[in-house]
Chain A
Amino acid sequence: MATRAAISRIAPALLHVRAAPSSVARRAALARGYASQSEHTMTVREALNSALEEEMLRDERVFVIGEEVARYNGAYKVTKGLLDKFGEKRVVDTPITEMGFAGLSIGAAFSGLRPVCEFMTFNFSMQAIDQIVNSAGKTLYMSGGTLTCPIVFRGPNGAAAGVAAQHSQDYSAWYGSIPGLKVVSPWSAEDCKGLLKAAIRDPNPVVFLENEMMYGVSFPVSPEVLSDNFLLPIGKAKVEREGSDVTIVAHSKMVTHSLEAADELAKEGIKAEVINLRSIRPLDIETIKKSVKKTNRLVTVEGGFPAFGVGSEICAQIVESEAFDYLDAPVERVTGADVPTPYATNLEALAFPDSPLIAKVARRALYRSN
């Protein structure tokens, strides 16, 4: 089983390097998969930016802090225009010390403010991980409920492109294992808008894992999403595409690939149900169980490493539950390769799942391929 999975992780990616669908085609596929009556579109970056702006307008206590967030408008321009609108008091550039500005933000949160602390990428949050885990995550509990820490840690997470192992890592499983933290991994513009606003309003520390590759991607959005009060509940997944034959659970950018795979499978008459996890902690296992009871097959997809990952956790929770009895095939995890992410383009492509691979594993769950 393990060997089979490891090999399948690599083989289709080789094919994919030659036959990658253009990003335009990908977006078109997305728009189809993501039905909406609205003609409004919004990029993920715009969604995040408007969520920040709306929450800063709504609540004086909210402020944004991090490296390059003010004058430079953020390394990825997510905080664009905020300095001009809210001034230096609420959009704070910091020296380069993750433990420093994360610590400062946590202290400010203990004192009643609502910091949104940006990491240039979550890879650098490692330099502040004690502050996030031991202070933000545990102080409410250890102080007997006296010190709350309403804070959002946000920034790009997971593999980007051509930036090698130290810039290409998914922290969902890391932060997802800590009681006291909430962890969100949004995919679309809708997700980003509704979940970032909910994260800022949440009384708990929320780790908000964005994806660099998604910032520029446009999504159609309903008028509801554009409203100032559009919130999505943390801890609830979304069924992005309904199907009856196999359940594909993914989060962040892997939702794109899973929807592409579902399109591919549809051509063969396979109806895949695609679940966008949205939240890592609390994990919406109910939605997955419900889907598994319908499809009897489960494939998990993530950009993180296989061991002790999000897919492993979902798999364990499913086999421990009554949903196990409904499974007609082994659960299979589609994940990043179990190596530090290589730099060379061809090797990097080999290291992460893509839609042909997801389709292949889904077929295998249906005993339609090996």
Chain B
Amino acid sequence: MIRAVRTSVPTTRRAFASRRLLSSSVPRFSADQHGHLPTTQSPITPHLEFFNSVAGEGKTIPTYRVIDGAGNPLEGARVPELDEALARKMYEEMTKLPILDNILYNVQRQGKIAFYMTCYGEEATIIGSAAALAPDDEVLGQYREMGVLLWRGFSYDSVMNQCFGTHEDIATKGKQMPVHFGSRELHFHTISSPLATQIPQAAGVGYALKRDPLRRGKNCAVVYFGEGAASEGDFHAGMLLASTIPSPTLFICRNNGFAISTPASEQYHGDGIASRGPGYGVHTIRVDGNDILAVYNAVREARRRCIEEGRAVLVEAMTYRVGHHSTSDDSFAYRPRQEVENRKRLDNPLARFRMFLEARGWWSAEEEDAFKARVKGEVMQALKRAEELPKPPVEEMFNDVYAGEEPWNIKEQKEELKRLLKKYGSAYEPWRTELRKHKGEGKEFV
């Protein structure tokens, strides 16, 4: 019944059409009168033509690039004005990612953590965009954006504490899977596992920013997602809402070619994710996601438009997921190993930017080796520390189900556990051993 209200327009149109048919003579209207349709400025044409491209008949949306595979600027490309310090920081943060990924991937394989997701191959997209944002822009990631947090100062200890669910994991207090980071301080929303739910939420974060006089015109909401997630209804809903209830929301699609095993060619039949932007009236650009300078330029400009106009902007970064989807996946079951090796060799985002830096004398092989060794050492140290740290207090199980006063069902469960711990906590060996793993050994209950 309720939905029926929405169909009232076609009904009216039908009624109007039949009235015209009843008319005995054909009325003549001037072209002016029929020049426009009531709800659109669409020009009238006598030609029966279909179209299936937003870039012009038969054309594909171009990809913006600044440096080529050898790190040399393209003719006519504007190289961003990076000083040595910023350029080095960008490269260093990129370099950290595969080191962390290698270590944590293997840690997962050893069974020490339940899950992990690498971002091999997408380093330029993640760090290039992170560098182009203000440190207090609100980020809603999908799960492969640890680099944004590292860029903002998230420590290796924080990474390890979250992945191991230690009592020092302030991001999720041992309640979220590995790589589902979050940090209020660093303006990074806790990752949510169901894909794409963060997209309409980002439109809401953007809406709140626009309503905040202290942040309006200063910050935007930034949402990351893969091309696979863009098939979810939430993507379309998020784009639509950020556009119709205008808000400074920056959409960054990491088109890495695969949604687990499904190649992008089976994810969509149209011209990628970028083609959807104009459908929602959103400024859009496609960028070479393996060219950090192109990503940096595109996201900076996208952010400027987003904030100045208070409207959504879409960036589609074309990259390639060199790693497996997650530790639950072996991608060589659905793509040849050689293809991956070729991509790594031919279009390595790290190598491209390194050549750019070396050409300017800003980086060297010696620095590369020293930096990698230092990072590896620091990461291993954080890992060993997290392995030893106790898990959150037992009581943490019941905290933050609700804000404010605890309802009786939470209190009752706590009481139940308290009763059991009093009875068996020290008397029964398996419980004793288990309790020792927790900060406070469950004593907060006894």
By a beta-carbon cutoff of 8 Å, the part of chain A in contact with chain B is 75, 89, 92, 94-97, 99-113, 115, 120-121, 124, 130-131, 134-135, 139-148, 150, 160, 162-163, 167, 179-180, 182, 202-204, 235, 281-283, 286
Contact = CB atoms under 8 A, between A and B. Distances in A.
B203 A282 contact: no
Interface stretch (B57-65, B72-80, B104-112, B238-246): B238-246
Contact of B208 (A100, A107, A281): A107
A109 B182 contact: no
Contacts of A101: 200, 237, 241
Contact of A109 (B170, B189, B199, B204): B204
B384 interface: no
Contacts of A100: 200, 203, 234, 236-238, 240-241
Contacts of A106: 200-201, 204
A111 to B, nearest CB: 3
Contacts of A75: 2, 5
Instruction: Tell which of A104, A110, A143 has the most Cβ of chain B within 10 Å.
Output: A104
A283 B206 CA distance: 36
Contacts of A130: 194, 197
Contact of A104 (B173, B189, B201): B201
Interface stretch (B82-90, B94-102, B113-121, B402-410): B402-410
Interface of B: 1-2, 5-6, 138, 140, 169-176, 180, 182-184, 189-190, 192-194, 197, 199-209, 211-212, 221, 233-234, 236-238, 240-241, 244-245, 399-404, 407-409
Given A92-B245, A99-B200, A142 B175 contact: yes
A195 to B, nearest CB: 15
A148 B189 CA distance: 11
B342 to A, nearest CB: 38
7 contacts: A95-B241, A99-B200, A109-B204, A131-B197, A147-B190, A203-B404, A204-B402
B175 A141 contact: yes
Contacts of A115: 204
Given A95-B241, A110-B205, 18 more contacts: A75-B2, A94-B241, A94-B244, A95-B240, A99-B234, A100-B234, A103-B200, A104-B201, A104-B203, A108-B205, A111-B205, A135-B194, A139-B192, A141-B401, A144-B169, A163-B1, A180-B402, A282-B409
Given A104-B245, A204-B404, A135 B197 contact: yes
Contacts of B211: 89, 113
A124 B197 CA distance: 17
A204 to B, nearest CB: 5
Instruction: Tell which of A89, A146, A150, A235 has the most Cβ of chain B within 10 Å.
Output: A146
Contacts of B401: 140-141, 179-180
Instruction: Tell which of B2, B192, B206 has the most Cβ of chain A within 10 Å.
Output: B2
Nearest to B413: A179
A103 B197 contact: yes
B22 to A, nearest CB: 32
A144 B184 CA distance: 11
A97 B174 CA distance: 34
Contacts of A94: 241, 244-245
Nearest to A235: B407
Contacts of A103: 197, 199-201, 203-204, 234, 237-238, 241
Nearest to A160: B1
A204 B173 CA distance: 19
Contact of B172 (A144, A148, A163): A144
Contacts of B241: 94-95, 97, 100-101, 103-104
Instruction: Tell which of B175, B207, B404 has the most Cβ of chain A within 10 Å.
Output: B207
Contacts of B409: 179, 282-283
